[in-house]
Amino acid sequence: MVNSFRKLALEKIAENIGPLSKIVENTLGIKEQKPVKFQTVGTAGPGTTVMASEQAVKPDGTVDIVINLRGLPGVPQAAESLGINAAVVAAEAVGPQSKNMGSSLLEQQFGSAQRINDIVDKTLADLQKKYPDKKLKRGKLIISGFSGGGGAISKLMTQRDQIKGGVDGIIINDGLHTKVNSPAMKALVDFAKEAEKDPSKKFKILHTAIIPWSKQLGRYTSTTETADHILRELGLTKEQAKDIDPSFDFKPISEAKKGGVEIVTMYDKSAPYYEDNRAGSAGDQHIQALKKGHPYLFRDVLS
């Protein structure tokens, strides 16, 4: 039932948003970095699929949970590509996805602390049925997102004190378009400052050089501009990437790292946009961010 629902949802998304269907296909081909096996556990409500690795439940009953808003199909292979041991919740908005409506719906449906609390509770309850001999409890909570997921995450951070147990990590992959002078941006910067001092918290951003524009919004804040704003607020500067793991098919152009903060530049030159996302175009930059950048960002997030 869950697999059928998810398959239908992905088909409907692909029909309405076109290029994202290619993102979904490419995600399934991400090079696996670690031999981690996942299985589908169930659903935590409309638009979600809950998956768990074989070692998601630790000996003491602790379960780390990743809630990923957009970009991660609800199939075990996609979760396995992240190379982590955790319960992974793949989430996407339910409803019309065309004309930027999908991102707005994603924020509406997942941009509340109560929704996150409900997802965590349902995930633990479903896993508890599979491990009746252990008393399960939440470990780390990582909230990640690709593309339009960044808007929902920035909204969530203004409600961080309402999320039970707090937030241990934020990962935004080419999706932060929040206005730099907004309360949501301040909330993100505040968390980044905490992560800068405490490496056990993770604040990670990857951005391309896309210059965003839409008929509805006109020219709006790019992921490069938001990343640069956060760097200024933290007093960090981008440097040439060092010590890159050769097992990843990705090397940042530049990066800024301190404590648990990592801000990665994937492209620093804008490119024309083509609907077919041909190589070298802005659309292709966005696809490559998901295909190569997502596993890279997760490589040490639960270590």
Q: Within a 10 A sphere around the Cβ of 195, how many other Cβ atoms?
A: 22
- The span from the CA of 191 to the CA of 172, in Å, is 13
Does 121 map to a domain?
yes
- State the pLDDT at residue 280: 78
| Closest C-alpha among 207, 59, 101 to residue 147 | 207
Q: How many domains does the chain have?
A: 1
Q: Which tokens belong to 27?
A: 């995600």
**Which range marks the domain in which residue 177 is found?**
2-297
Provide the token pair at 275: 């609907």
Pairing assessment for the beta strands 87-91 and 48-53 based on DSSP bridges = antiparallel
- Whether 303 is covered by a domain: the verdict is no
Query: Mind listing the pLDDT tens digit of every residue in the chain (303 residues)?
Result: 434 434 444 444 344 433 444 444 454 444 444 479 999 999 999 999 999 999 999 999 999 999 999 999 999 999 999 999 999 999 999 987 665 567 889 999 999 999 999 999 999 999 999 999 999 999 999 999 999 999 999 999 999 999 999 999 999 999 999 999 999 999 999 999 999 999 999 999 999 998 877 666 667 789 999 999 999 999 999 999 887 777 788 889 999 999 999 999 999 998 877 767 777 788 899 999 999 999 999 999 997
DSSP bridge pairs for 219? 213
pLDDT value of position 175: 94
Q: Specify the pLDDT at position 11.
A: 45
Distance CA 87, CA 43 (A): 12
Q: List the CATH number of the domain containing 10.
A: 3.40.50
Query: Token pair of 45, please?
Result: 């409500």
Give pLDDT, residue 144: 98
> What's residue 57's pLDDT?
97
Domain presence at residue 302: no
Say if 50 falls within a structural domain. Answer: yes
Spatial neighbors of 279 by CB under 8 A, at least 6 apart, are: none
Kindly state whether residue 284 falls inside one of the protein's structural domains.
yes
Does residue 194 sit within a domain? yes
Residue 88 lies in a domain: yes
Is 106 inside any structural domain?
A: yes
Q: In the 3-class helix/strand/coil scheme, how is the chain assigned residue by residue? A: CHHHHHHHHHHHHHHHHCHHHHHHHHHCCCCCCCCCCEEEEECCCCCEEEEEECCCECCCCEEEEEEEECCCCCCHHHHHCCCCCCEEEEECCCCCCCCCHHHHHHHHHHCCHHHHHHHHHHHHHHHHHHCCCCCCEEEEEEEEEECCHHHHHHHHHCCHHHCCCCCCEEEEECCCCCCCCCHHHHHHHHHHHHHHHCCCCEEEEEECCCCCEECCCEECCCHHHHHHHHHHHHCCCCECCCCCCCCCCCCCCEEEEECCEEEEECCCCCCCCCCCCCCCCHHHHHHHHHHHHHHHHCCCCCC
pTM listed for this prediction: 0.85
